């Protein structure tokens, strides 16, 4: 007669369903190696990629199908300096500033993981200043088009009416992302400067206790914003 044995709970391997539940319920790390904040940021950026792709695809569709002449970006976005029209000067400066901010953001992540708290905070502030300068220049560009050129979302005296709607929708949505990024850069810089990340407990955005996962997560967002601007610059201003 075969004897039946009862499995000892201690003999059950810890890996499996219980380990999976423990990982996901800890609210610290997904898949054991990726902080929750970074994983959620990647999901957010993926969804944002679809939105910007739809915007740019719609812009290209409208521009290639409209029967009304499309305004020349080199003329629309030109600045008058000493009586001379310089095409895309402001846009070039904005692009240079935003791309430079990617460099300072990458350096902030580097010095953060090296535990160089002050340099990391300084670089985060510089990145935020770059972003604020970009938004300020974009506000100047909007003011110039609305006040001086008479461009509206529903009309455009220089050509196709869809130009205004496309411009304000795409650049406005991107500018909103930059503005939010500047706010969070300042918050992150404040936490780094005070040492709150090194002394704080692990959390959704901070990741491991004493680590600079929050700075890296902020860097992912900022690099994405910069990358999107490269596509906007190429499709909207150079085409």
Question: Cα–Cα distances in Å, from 169 out to 10, 143, 173, 211, 221?
Answer: 60, 15, 6, 38, 20
CA–CA dist 149, 167 (Å, integer): 14
pTM of this prediction? 0.80
Structure tokens at 202: 């692990």
CA–CA dist 153, 140 (Å, integer): 17
Determine whether domain 26-237 maps to CATH 1.10.3720.10. no
55-72 pLDDT, tens digit per residue, is 999 999 999 898 888 888
Beta-carbon neighbour count of residue 129 at 10 Å? 16
188-228 pLDDT, tens digit per residue, is 999 899 887 764 444 444 445 456 788 999 999 999 999 99
Structure tokens at 145: 């088009």
């Amino acid at each position: 007669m075969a004897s039946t044995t009862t499995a000892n709970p201690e003999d059950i391997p810890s890996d499996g369903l219980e380990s999976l539940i423990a990982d996901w319920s800890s609210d610290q790390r997904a898949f054991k190696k990726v902080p929750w904040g970074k994983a959620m940021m990647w999901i957010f950026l993926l969804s944002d990629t679809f939105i910007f792709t739809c915007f740019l695809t719609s812009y290209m569709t409208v521009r290639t199908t409209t029967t009304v002449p499309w305004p020349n970006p080199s003329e629309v976005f030109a600045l008058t300096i000493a009586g001379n029209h310089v095409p895309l000067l402001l846009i070039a400066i904005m692009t240079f500033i935003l791309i430079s901010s990617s460099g300072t953001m990458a350096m902030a992540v580097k010095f953060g993981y090296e535990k160089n708290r002050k340099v990391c905070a300084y670089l985060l502030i510089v990145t935020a200043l770059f972003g604020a300068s970009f938004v300020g220049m974009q506000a100047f560009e909007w003011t110039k088009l609305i006040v001086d050129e008479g461009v509206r979302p529903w009309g455009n005296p220089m050509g196709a009416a869809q130009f205004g709607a496309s411009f304000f929708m795409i650049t406005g949505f991107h500018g909103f992302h930059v503005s939010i990024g500047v706010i969070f850069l300042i918050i992150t810089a404040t936490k780094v400067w005070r040492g709150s990340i090194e002394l704080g407990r692990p959390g959704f955005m901070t990741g491991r206790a004493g680590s600079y996962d929050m700075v890296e997560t902020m860097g992912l967002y900022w690099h994405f914003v910069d990358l999107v601007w490269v596509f906007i610059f190429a499709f909207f201003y150079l085409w």
